[in-house]
Chains A and B, each alone.
Chain A
Amino acid sequence: MLDDDVRTVLDGTPIAHLASTLPDGSPHSVPLWIGTVGDRVAFLTGPGSRKARNLRRDPRVAISLTPPDAPFTPVVLRGRLVEWLDGDAGWAAVDDLSMKYVGAPYGRDEERVVALVEVEHQKLGM
């Protein structure tokens, strides 16, 4: 269950950093757009991206971000990837994210999917 304050931050326009594990176990971290779909944390990716391949193999994720208007307030999440959204449902979620960040639907040039993360640990502030 997402904390309301955490959800408020996620529904803004922070750039989040998503950590996953590479095949050899070493960490992999990328900045990305983030949002919520229902009670889950959502982000989009190319289906063949490094993070997508990492998460298909090992669904554990760690996400960190700070609110754009409060850069000294950390939001730290950990959880598990529980669902991929593709097709129309995926594009709808992609466009929701895109509208939030750039005010326009996402381009259809490349295939994109949305990952949904069930949050298991969440912390806001110090």
Chain B
Amino acid sequence: MRDGDGLTGLTGLTGLTGLTVATDEQVQELAGTARTFSLLVLRWAPGRHHPPRSDLSARTRSEHDPHRGFTCVRERRGMNNDTRRTTGLLRSSTALGAAVLVLGSLALGACSKTDATGTAASAIGAAPLEQDVAATDGDTIDLVSAAVETPATADAAQGADAAQGGKGDRKGLRVRMMRALHGTWVTDSPTGPVTHQAIRGDVTAVSATSVTVKAKDGFSQTFAVSGDTRVRVRANGKGADSTIGAVKVGAKALVAGVGATNPTARVVVFKVMTSQPGGSPSPSATS
């Protein structure tokens, strides 16, 4: 049931309607020019997760590998009950997990540098080489459209693996997220899709009701600040509750909120800049 246009399984992502599903060639092209705002829905080709059934136990161990990347949002394949199943998976994911959608393109950019047979598969954290993987991975990272051939018999095991894999990959994910400057992602909710926005950079304007942050790439985003906005301060590696009044222009801040336009900040985390970053800007103070 592979679709010629690569749109296989899109209906499963009910919270992400309106996304473009890219062909392999488009993914490759995007990976070469990845920007923080590139938004990709990435799926693993079935061959990467699903060994022959006789090999399942060995594979389950490999799924626990903490060094395995978490570049791709995995979607269970099936028949008509796909929608419900997949929605549940997305809904259970935290904002962190949802952010993978946004960051996928960044990580993929790195993947593309190792775009050789086999290494591409391991670079994106897919399972070690198998014959069928090697056969289909030769050209590019076929994350998007090849998910149709998953054997239905492996579905249960796959669902369990997905949960475990996501947990074990938190660390690698965090490292990748630390490089994110800004992004938008969408999660599902009982009341419909929710658009999240986040940006990390310098505070360029702040008042009791709004905060504006400019990222290193020049992108600027203003968030409304409400009574529900949580403000946290980080100083000397420790966090503490704070107020919007304590946020000053020039501070380093991370703001995350909801709303596609005029988003409202849910959390503002800023750093106190009275001391220099790292405490010792001068060279060789400890040498």
A interface with B by C-beta (< 8 Å): 15, 18, 30-33, 44-46, 48-51, 97-98, 101-102, 104-110, 112
Chain B residues, CB < 8 A from A109: 236, 275, 279-280
The digit string for B7-27, where 1 denotes a CB below 8 A from any CB of A, is 000000000000000000000
Given A50-B287, A109-B236, A98 contacting B279 (CB threshold 8 A): no
Q: Which of A45, A50, A51, A98 contacts B281 (CB 8 A)?
A: A98
Query: In the complex, A110→B279 CA distance in Å?
Result: 7
Q: Which of B280, B282, B284 contacts A51 (CB 8 A)?
A: B284
Query: In the complex, A110→B286 CA distance in Å?
Result: 10
Chain A residue with Cβ nearest B284: A30
B interface with A by C-beta (< 8 Å): 236, 274-276, 278-287
Chain A residues, CB < 8 A from B276: 98, 102, 104, 106-107
Query: In the complex, A97→B279 CA distance in Å?
Result: 14
CB distance from A12 to the nearest CB of B (A): 15
Chain B residues, CB < 8 A from A105: 274-275
Task: Flag if A106 contacts B282 (CB, 8 Å).
Answer: yes
Task: Beyond A30-B284, A46-B285, A102-B276, list 6 extra A-B contacts (CB 8 Å).
Answer: A30-B283, A48-B286, A97-B282, A98-B282, A107-B274, A109-B280
Chain A residues, CB < 8 A from B236: 109
Chain B residues, CB < 8 A from A46: 280, 285-286
Task: Flag if B284 contacts A110 (CB, 8 Å).
Answer: no
Task: Flag if A101 contacts B282 (CB, 8 Å).
Answer: yes
The 9 tightest CB contacts between A and B, nearest first, are A107-B275, A109-B279, A30-B284, A107-B279, A30-B287, A107-B276, A33-B282, A46-B286, A31-B283
Task: Flag if B282 contacts A32 (CB, 8 Å).
Answer: yes
Chain A residues, CB < 8 A from B282: 32-33, 44, 97-98, 101, 106
Chain B residue with Cβ nearest A46: B286
Task: Flag if A15 contacts B283 (CB, 8 Å).
Answer: yes
Task: Flag if A49 contacts B283 (CB, 8 Å).
Answer: no
Task: Flag if B283 contacts A110 (CB, 8 Å).
Answer: no
Can you list 16 pairs linking A and B with CB atoms under 8 Å apart?
A: A15-B283, A30-B284, A31-B284, A32-B285, A46-B286, A98-B282, A105-B274, A106-B280, A106-B281, A107-B274, A107-B278, A107-B281, A109-B236, A110-B279, A110-B280, A112-B285
Query: In the complex, A45→B275 CA distance in Å?
Result: 16
